[in-house]
Structure 1
Amino acid sequence: MKTIAVFHLLVSLIVLSACAPAESTEPVVSTVMPTATEEPTSLDYYPLSTRTGIADVDAVLAAVESGDAQALRDLIRLTTVGCTKTEGLGGPPKCREGEAEGTLVNVLPFLGPEGHFLYESELSKFPGVDVLGLYAVYAVSDSAYSEEAYPTGEYAAMFTTKDDQTVIVFQIRNGIVRIDYLYPSSSLREIVQRDASELILAPK
């Protein structure tokens, strides 16, 4: 009887072993897909090597591309205007010490949130500009903002900057007659539409 019992026990163990699930030897394949990396989108500007075929404009573009501040200084065309002792923002350049009201001074106007001027004696301090690309070039409309102390150019070249918050516009008439700083850059197309009589290089 003991022999029969042992025999039945061995048979039971063999059957249980046969029914147990076998371990899989196939490799586990991950179902997690890698996250695609988005390609960076190009900013809307032309390279600084771009030229228009207009000599006055291309001279400025070449100077900007070179990064040579003196090359830009050589293209500055000063405005002669009477100074003022009137306090406050805007208006003509302020008279400096020893200058009477209306004294003629030679300046380069800068137009931005607050207008200011670079006097002829300060030109050597002009550091040039650090820009990223060329946004647009256009012929300036007669309706664009202008006054005696802030003349417009015949053409304007608009540049984007590396901080993407400031746009620099060179007003060009036989050289650089005014430099504009625009903040922010979100309304550039509207500014171009407002100030351009003809697009030489349209925004992308």
Structure 2
Amino acid sequence: MHLAPLAAAAVALLLIAGCADDDEAMTPSATETPAAMPSEPGTATPPGDTPPGTVPTDRELPADVRTGVAAVDAALSALFARDLGALAGLVRYEEVACTTVQGLGGPPRCEEGEADGTVVQAFPHGACEGEWTRDALPVLERWMDDVAYIVAVGERDGTRSDSEPYWPIGEHLIILENEFGADRHASVLYFEDGALVRLWSGCGASVDEVIEQQVDEVLLRAAA
């Protein structure tokens, strides 16, 4: 029996088997994809109870919000559009007897040629002190340049008095926030019988202070 060829064949088989094992060891196995980590529960807080009339926006009312009060809604549209002419078109001038007495506050001043007590048409406005103007347009223009946010709409019940006895009280108020550099304070438009009857440019009071002191019912207010 010839053993040498058989031995050679056995060695060859062993070598082939070894190579096959090496190839199998070198073949990379499929990388397992780690299971996705469960996401953390959402951190958004569900909306809770909000004060009546609160609109969930930032510092200003939404541009499309309305109250159902025609003059107030027309003013809101004009304010959001920065339409000075439309806002001035809502003004009602008061018929008031003028005075020749100089000083702060009081009725409108008589102009040259007008006798004391002459009934004139004027629009009340002012900041820390009351004033009157025969032309509301430039007054509204200067004021509008400083308006930053349209913040709230309020209603009065007719029982409030005013520090300026010649000024109309107003039934509805649009409360705004004006900016002068770093300074920010409230200003107010007053509406009565379907017209804009008064502008108060503010005297350092905040929106919260104005609402507390002048408003009986808040109809709309920005959330922030």
TM-score of the superposed pair, with normalisation by structure 1: 0.70
User: For residue 190 of structure 2, what is the amino acid of its counterpart?
Assistant: Q
Match of 1:168 in 2: 187
What is the CA distance between 1:156 and its match in structure 2?
A: 0.4
Aligned residues: 160
Identity fraction in percent: 32
Partner Cα distance (2:96, 2:67) in 1: 32
Match of 2:215 in 1: 196
Match of 1:157 in 2: 174
Match of 1:118 in 2: 133
Q: Is the 8 A contact 1:140 1:155 kept in 2?
A: yes
Match of 2:124 in 1: 109
Q: In the TM superposition, what are the counterparts of 1:36-115 in structure 2 within 5 Å?
A: 44-115=59-130
What is the CA distance between 1:192 and its match in structure 2?
A: 0.9
Partner Cα distance (1:147, 1:126) in 2: 19
Q: Is the 8 A contact 1:132 1:159 kept in 2?
A: yes
What is the CA distance between 1:202 and its match in structure 2?
A: 3.6
Q: Point out where structure 2 has 5 or more consecutive residues left out of the alignment.
A: 1-56
What is the CA distance between 1:44 and its match in structure 2?
A: 3.4
What is the CA distance between 1:153 and its match in structure 2?
A: 1.4
User: For residue 103 of structure 1, what is the amino acid of its counterpart?
Assistant: T
Q: Is the 8 A contact 1:45 1:160 kept in 2?
A: no
Q: Is the 8 A contact 1:47 1:133 kept in 2?
A: no
User: For residue 154 of structure 2, what is the amino acid of its counterpart?
Assistant: Y
Query: Looking at CA atoms only, which structure, 1 or 2, has the larger radius of gyration?
Result: 2
Partner Cα distance (1:43, 1:202) in 2: 10
1:133 aligns with 2:149: yes
What is the CA distance between 1:103 and its match in structure 2?
A: 0.3
- CA 47–194 in structure 1, closer or farther in 2 if over 3 Å, else same: same
- CA 137–72 in structure 1, closer or farther in 2 if over 3 Å, else same: same
- CA 83–192 in structure 1, closer or farther in 2 if over 3 Å, else same: same
Partner Cα distance (1:107, 1:161) in 2: 24
- CA 189–81 in structure 1, closer or farther in 2 if over 3 Å, else same: same
- CA 203–184 in structure 1, closer or farther in 2 if over 3 Å, else same: farther
What is the CA distance between 1:106 and its match in structure 2?
A: 0.4
Q: Is the 8 A contact 2:100 2:116 kept in 1?
A: yes
Match of 2:160 in 1: 143
What is the CA distance between 1:178 and its match in structure 2?
A: 0.2
Q: Is the 8 A contact 2:94 2:122 kept in 1?
A: yes
Q: Is the 8 A contact 1:144 1:195 kept in 2?
A: no
What is the CA distance between 1:88 and its match in structure 2?
A: 1.2
Partner Cα distance (1:144, 1:201) in 2: 23
User: For residue 198 of structure 2, what is the amino acid of its counterpart?
Assistant: R
Runs (4 or more) in structure 1 with deviation over 4 Å come to none
Q: Point out where structure 1 has 5 or more consecutive residues left out of the alignment.
A: 1-41
Match of 2:53 in 1: none
Q: Is the 8 A contact 1:189 1:203 kept in 2?
A: no
